A and B are shown apart, each in its own frame.
Chain A
């Protein structure tokens, strides 16, 4: 069985002015896994996602999408959800999804069907005609996710997809992530919430621009002998202080 790498970052460096944001980060995703990127704010999670996506240039190092240098075409298989909702407030929910689907090359009946499908998946099928400006924060978040799903990508980059959502919807979204994974999709997700960490197949701990630990959540907690992934940050910090 050949193992393919949907996304791979190799020795990535990035600095803004004097501040080092990414310091030699390498990361490889396996097909069909949910990879959680965790770390305190300011650790460089968003920058890492943006570099992997090709929205920002790394100072050095290289990125591969589906085992080749990123091309525009590769974006067809890629779903991106940013921290901001990135929606057009003047338009209705349907028009938003319709636009993003068109940009991804979807046409006609297939597009229409798919829009209703994703709207149902995020529980917005009754609100499609509403203006996005009338949406609540949670509804916008879900619509934003729907826009990332609409073209059936194979790889998802989700930057804090569940921030500001109530636990019910959060749980529902994670069910959706597992469903997508079941269909063969690969997901990289950044998060603050620790109970979401347990649902990832693998996690990478990002601190001050470095991946300080990587592996399945359970293996990691056993390895460091701590009750939760959160404690690993503290343990490593302590070790660093000892040195």
Chain B
């Protein structure tokens, strides 16, 4: 145990004295998360739209001046080419939409806006149809009233000259049914309820849990890996191997030493996104901390393991595109349900995948322990497996039994 603490103490001293590493470990993730927060948390800007051939159109009222610039066809085409507008609508029947088209997200924004206007047009159509129908009905009613007037006069004449014929006609006449007042249809309303979260949930709120996992993993991976690699390349590991320290003490010393900074980092980072960036969180802060903490250990133990296969810092960083980037894409940041099964199988081998799932359960879905224990356990298993392999690797390079 004493050797283990001597190891841990040395690592802590090394990091504390190396201000750059310390900053990279604690401040860098905050900076990047803030940046991500601005990017994904920002309100999307309104699309710039225009209309042409509006002068003789009946639908002009559906395209408000505040949303649609009035332009001549030539002007519109020019503006679209200059990317000053995202789309313009040609109101000549049939209505045509011309999109700029190079940015799918802008296309979507423009289309949803235009479709809203189209809905207004349909409403305009319905209203004018209603008016036409009412006119027809009114005309018919007038006709009926005139007929009734004639009939009344006819029956009065008959009463006078042939009362018996009238009674028989009245008896045989089909009974007119008084039409009920037609029920006006209720206005259809959409009532949205959320099982989790609410309508103010933005992209950052749903990306946040994955982002935390990615950055914690990335920074611990880099620093832990390079730190152990240096132990190998500078020869200090040889010196340790030629001392009575046991193999497991070397690895666990690393876990303990880095553990302290991992605790600090997880705490600072979690508090920052929850209290400063105000990410949507209805779960317990402690639950979030535990997951971030366990994830860091899997990152640390994996980086130590991979440093065995690197002979210098550059080779260590070559693992980043191999180990970190696929995790970013398969972490749950993007939906993976439709991917081929082998890709999803790879996703299941990635620690960040589990941390994202667990953090989303905690922060957005608000499930307690029951919602994250399995993911947490899997992350823990990752760490245990990596640590055991690490100890075995060191033990194997030492011909002496310990």
Please list the residues of chain A having a beta carbon within 8 angstroms of any beta carbon in chain B.
50, 53-57, 70-73, 75-76, 78, 80, 82-91, 95, 99-100, 102-105, 107, 131, 147, 157
Contact = CB atoms under 8 A, between A and B. Distances in A.
Contacts of B238: 50, 55, 80, 82, 86
B25 to A, nearest CB: 14
Contact of B244 (A73, A99, A107): A73
A57 to B, nearest CB: 4
Interface string B1-18: 011001101100111011
Given A91-B17, A102-B3, A72 B246 contact: yes
B17 A90 contact: yes
A105 B246 CA distance: 12
A103 B245 contact: yes
A103 B242 contact: no
Contacts of A103: 3, 6-7, 240, 243-245
Nearest to A80: B242
Given A54-B398, A75-B242, 20 more contacts: A50-B238, A54-B242, A55-B238, A55-B242, A56-B399, A71-B401, A72-B400, A82-B238, A84-B234, A84-B235, A85-B235, A89-B234, A90-B13, A90-B18, A91-B10, A91-B14, A102-B2, A102-B6, A105-B3, A107-B2
Interface of B: 2-3, 6-7, 9-10, 13-15, 17-18, 234-236, 238-246, 397-402
B312 to A, nearest CB: 14
Contact of A99 (B10, B17, B402): B10
A85 B244 contact: no
A82 B242 CA distance: 10
A95 B243 CA distance: 17
Contacts of A90: 13-15, 17-18
A88 B239 contact: no
A136 to B, nearest CB: 17
B3 A78 contact: no
A85 to B, nearest CB: 7
A74 to B, nearest CB: 8
Contacts of B243: 75, 100, 103-104
Contacts of A95: 10, 13
| Best-surrounded residue of B2, B13, B18, B235 (most CB of chain A within 10 A) | B235
Nearest to A157: B242
| Best-surrounded residue of B13, B239, B397 (most CB of chain A within 10 A) | B239
A80 B14 contact: no
Contacts of A104: 243-244
Nearest to B233: A84
Contacts of A89: 234
A78 B17 CA distance: 30
A84 B239 CA distance: 10
A82 B10 contact: no
Contacts of A80: 238-239, 242
Given A80-B238, A88-B14, A104-B243, A72 B6 contact: no
30 contacts: A55-B238, A55-B242, A55-B398, A57-B399, A71-B401, A72-B245, A72-B400, A75-B244, A80-B238, A82-B239, A83-B235, A84-B234, A86-B238, A88-B14, A89-B234, A90-B13, A90-B15, A90-B18, A91-B10, A91-B13, A95-B10, A100-B243, A102-B3, A102-B6, A103-B7, A103-B243, A103-B245, A107-B2, A147-B239, A157-B242
Contacts of A50: 238
Nearest to A71: B400
